[in-house]
Amino acid sequence: MNIRRLDSRDAPLLEAFLLPRRDSSMFLRSNVRRGGLGHSGQTSQEVYVGAFDHGDIVGVVGHGAGGMLLLQAPESVAELARACVGASQRSVTGVAGPLPQVAQATRALGLKAEDASYNRDEWLYGLDLADLMVPVALSSGVVACRAPLPSERDTLCAWRRAYDIEALGAADTEQTRLRSARFLDQQIADGNAWIAVEHGAPVSLSSFNAVLPDIVQLGGIYTPPELRGRGFAKVAVAASLVAARERGVQRAVLFTSNPSAARAYEALGFLRTGGYAVALFR
């Protein structure tokens, strides 16, 4: 087995490896599609290291400019993680990927669970959008769903900040506020955010963290505590998936460790397909 840094010539081989594993490879595939594999010397560029066996890629690890390490390496994940960090010369601020791989990579890199600000095993869910079960509240028009309006930005940024604190363990700081706002602003600009609306007021937010022509990954789904338990999140998620289906997307994935959220997703037709792990060391 040969381990080396990937370049643009490896793109077809990498896609051939990741596509059959697309449910747990969304971040890797979308990052490669956005930034490519070329070596330009730019410090902001992601670094990807792959393992090859008889000319085929059998594992890959990517390290982003922000320090996040992304894994899809059924074989040699420890060696790949060390090689990727060595090639990038960056600190590791987080690790994400299939459950057993994250555990192996963090051990190989000497990262300790007690040092993580967030360290959670998640349930990975997938849905073929042809099988989406649209809630009656949406199909009947009782609850509407649409893209956010500029006048709603401050409210939604506050929601995104609350989500990052509640769901991801972020600190309640000015840095979190700015990071959350930037992230949501980009989702809105890309047309990847939707809100459920009742009586003209936003009641729930759904968005895509990663988007590819064939598949989308849901994330940042948030309903204010006082509005929970009324099915608003299901409406927002379903409407965002209907919109994705109209764009030609065939599948959606998400991960969660919240039993209540899992039940809501299952009511839309999502099926559990495996495990996913995210550890953050900010």
Residues 54-111 have pLDDT tens digits of 999 999 999 998 999 999 999 899 999 999 999 999 999 999 999 999 999 999 999 9
Res 45: pLDDT: 82
- Pick from 191, 208, 189, 184: which is nearest to 129 by CA? 208
Q: Let me know if domain 126-275 sits in CATH 3.20.20.100.
A: no
Residues 34-42: what's their mean pLDDT? 72
228 or 113: which leads in pLDDT: 228
Question: Which residues make Cβ contacts (< 8 Å) with residue 25, sequence separation at least 6?
Answer: 18, 72
Hey, what CATH topology would domain 2-111 get? Aminopeptidase (3.40.630)
- In this predicted structure, the answer to whether residue 40 has a pLDDT above a threshold of 60 is no
**pTM of the predicted model as reported, rounded to 2 decimal places:** 0.91
- In this predicted structure, the answer to whether residue 234 has a pLDDT above a threshold of 90 is yes
Q: Which residue in this structure is represented by tokens 């500029």?
A: 150
Residue 255 corresponds to which tokens in the numbers above?
A: 């991960």
Residues 98-126: what's their mean pLDDT? 93
Predicted confidence (pLDDT) per residue in 142-168, tens digit: 999 999 999 999 999 999 999 999 988
Residues 231-242: what's their mean pLDDT? 97
Predicted confidence (pLDDT) per residue in 170-190, tens digit: 899 999 999 999 999 999 999
Res 41: pLDDT: 52
- Per-residue burial over 76-94, b if 16 or more Cβ lie within 10 Å, else e, is bbbbbbbbbbebbebebbb
Torsion sign, CA atoms 226, 146, 158, 251? positive
Res 44: pLDDT: 54
* Domain range annotation of the chain: 2-111, 126-275
Residue 204: strand, helix, or coil: strand
The amino acid at residue 267 is A
Res 75: pLDDT: 87
**Which helix (H) or strand (E) element contains residue 260?**
helix 259-267
Res 42: pLDDT: 52
